[in-house]
Amino acid sequence: MKTRFLIGFIAIGLVFPLHSISQTLPSGQSIANKTHTRDEGVSLSRKLTMELKDKRGKIRIRETTSFRKYFGEEKRLVIFYLTPKSVMGTAFLTYDYPDASLDDDQWLYMPALRKTRRISAANRGDYFLGTDLTYEDIKLETRINRDDYTYKTIGKEQVDGHECFVIEGLPKSKEIAKELGYSKTKLWVDATLWMLRKADNWDVAGNYLKTIEIKDIKKIQGIWTYHKIYVKNHKTNHETIFRIDEVDYQTEINDDAFTKEALVNGL
């Protein structure tokens, strides 16, 4: 009797396998929401080295010190360039507002001009300071956009030995697609840490555009922190590597560090 019951159970499982999986996987939207609940600390200082490589293998290296602080939902980021010498002291400041309808504010301080220039509201899909990441990518870091995509969870896969949910997102409208520069996105989200580990993106014309990999995720001062981002643009063969060192969540950063005046004063 027991055996017969078991066979019946297996048979049902075979007939309705999709049904059973979709029940076990969380929805894409809920995964996206979950990535925003993760603790990222309030203030953060770190050394960020940007390594940019063109298709001929020529490399530009820019070392920076960067500070980030959450003001409620609003995120402020400041980057001071240390090298190359020609841009030493150049500083970049951005205010990311949680309200998507508000354009973010950005400034660049140019020491040779001794002036701070406001950078016109960039499209979210514009490239960030010559890297392969867009302003939107920088804003979200390991989080996932909650508002602009219709998601579908398509399965589970391992990335760097970690179990990840795989979700696919399509922009909700053509306008959004154009603004973001993506017509489709495929995301691998760590199933226990709720951090993005890998993303594939397609351009507006549907061409395979780029792959982002977030690596070396380690716990620093109790917070899960990535130490490397690798981006490859498949269309231009351009590559970007962000290396992160000297991560510190504990030293509190003064609010004044995120002002135009602070850019002028430097580190």
Partner 1 sequence: MKNKPLTATTFFNKVTSHHKIILTLSIVIMIAVSLFIPKMTKDTSYDAFLPKDDPILAFRNQTKETFGLKDPMVIAIVNEQGIFNKKTLQLVYELSERLKTISGIDPDQITSLSTENNIVGTDAGLEVDPFFEIEELTDKKALEVKAAIDNFELYEGSLVSNDHTTTLIVAEMLDSYDKKQHEVYKSLMKLLDEYKSHNEQFYLAGEGAVSGYLIRYIDEDAMKTNPFAAIVISIILIFAYRRLRGVVLPNIMVLASVGVALGAMAAFGVDFFVITNGLPVVLIAIAVADGIHILGEYYETAAKHPEFTQKELVVVTMTHMWRPITITSVTTVAGFLAIAASSYMPPMTYFGLFGALGVFAALVYAVFMIPSAMMFLKPQLSKAYKSDQKIDYFGKAMAFIGKVVIKYPKAIIAIAIIIIAFGIHGASKLEINEDRIKNFQADEPIVKADALINKKTDGTSYLDILVETPEVEDIFEPENLHKIEALQTYVETLPHVKGSISIVDFLKKMNQSLNENNTAYYRIPDDRELIAQYFLLYSASGDPTDFDNYVDYDYRLANIRLRMDTSEYNFEKPVVDAVNTYLSQNFNSSTIKATSSGKVTVDAHWINRLGFNHFVGAGLALLVVLLFAALSFKSIWAGILTIIPVSISVLFIYTVMGVLNIWLAVGTSMFAAIAIGVGVDFAVHTVDRLKFLLSEKGLPIKEGYHEFYKSAGRALLFNFLALALGFSVLMTSSVPPLSQFGFLVAVAVTVSFIGSLTLLPAIIYLVKPKFFSTSK
Residue numbers at the binding site for partner 1 (CB under 8 A) = 54, 56, 58-60, 81, 84-87, 90, 92, 106, 108, 110-113, 117-120, 122, 126-131, 205, 207, 235-236, 238
Q: How far is the CB of 81 from partner 1 (least distance, A)?
A: 8
Reading the block at residue 208, the tokens are: 């395979």
| Cβ closest to partner 1, residue 92 vs residue 258 | 92
Residue 21 main-chain phi, psi, to 5 deg: -65, -50
DSSP 160: T
| Cβ closest to partner 1, residue 129 vs residue 154 | 129
Q: How far is the CB of 48 from partner 1 (least distance, A)?
A: 15
| Cβ closest to partner 1, residue 13 vs residue 84 | 84
Cα–Cα distances in angstroms (integers) from residue 99 to residues 9, 73, 127, 147, 264, in the given order: 49, 9, 21, 11, 28
Q: Collapsing DSSP states into helix, strand and coil, what is residue 28? A: helix
| Cβ closest to partner 1, residue 128 vs residue 249 | 128
Contact between residue 200 and residue 185 where contact means Cβ atoms under 8 Å apart: yes
Q: Where are the alpha helices (DSSP H) in 16-152?
A: 17-24, 28-35, 135-140
| Cβ closest to partner 1, residue 23 vs residue 120 | 120
Q: How far is the CB of 117 from partner 1 (least distance, A)?
A: 4
| Cβ closest to partner 1, residue 54 vs residue 245 | 54
Q: How far is the CB of 84 from partner 1 (least distance, A)?
A: 7
DSSP 35: H
| Cβ closest to partner 1, residue 129 vs residue 223 | 129
Q: How far is the CB of 80 from partner 1 (least distance, A)?
A: 13
Reading the block at residue 10, the tokens are: 């297996």
Q: How far is the CB of 205 from partner 1 (least distance, A)?
A: 7
Residue 4 main-chain phi, psi, to 5 deg: -60, -40
Which of 247-256 are b and which e, b meaning 16 or more Cβ less than 10 Å from the residue's Cβ? bebeeebeee
Residue type, 209: L
Whole-number Å distance between alpha carbons of 151 and 171: 9
Q: How far is the CB of 192 from partner 1 (least distance, A)?
A: 36
Whole-number Å distance between alpha carbons of 10 and 251: 56
Q: Collapsing DSSP states into helix, strand and coil, what is residue 175? A: helix
Residue 178 main-chain phi, psi, to 5 deg: -65, -40
Q: How far is the CB of 184 from partner 1 (least distance, A)?
A: 17
Contact between residue 95 and residue 73 where contact means Cβ atoms under 8 Å apart: no
| Cβ closest to partner 1, residue 90 vs residue 153 | 90
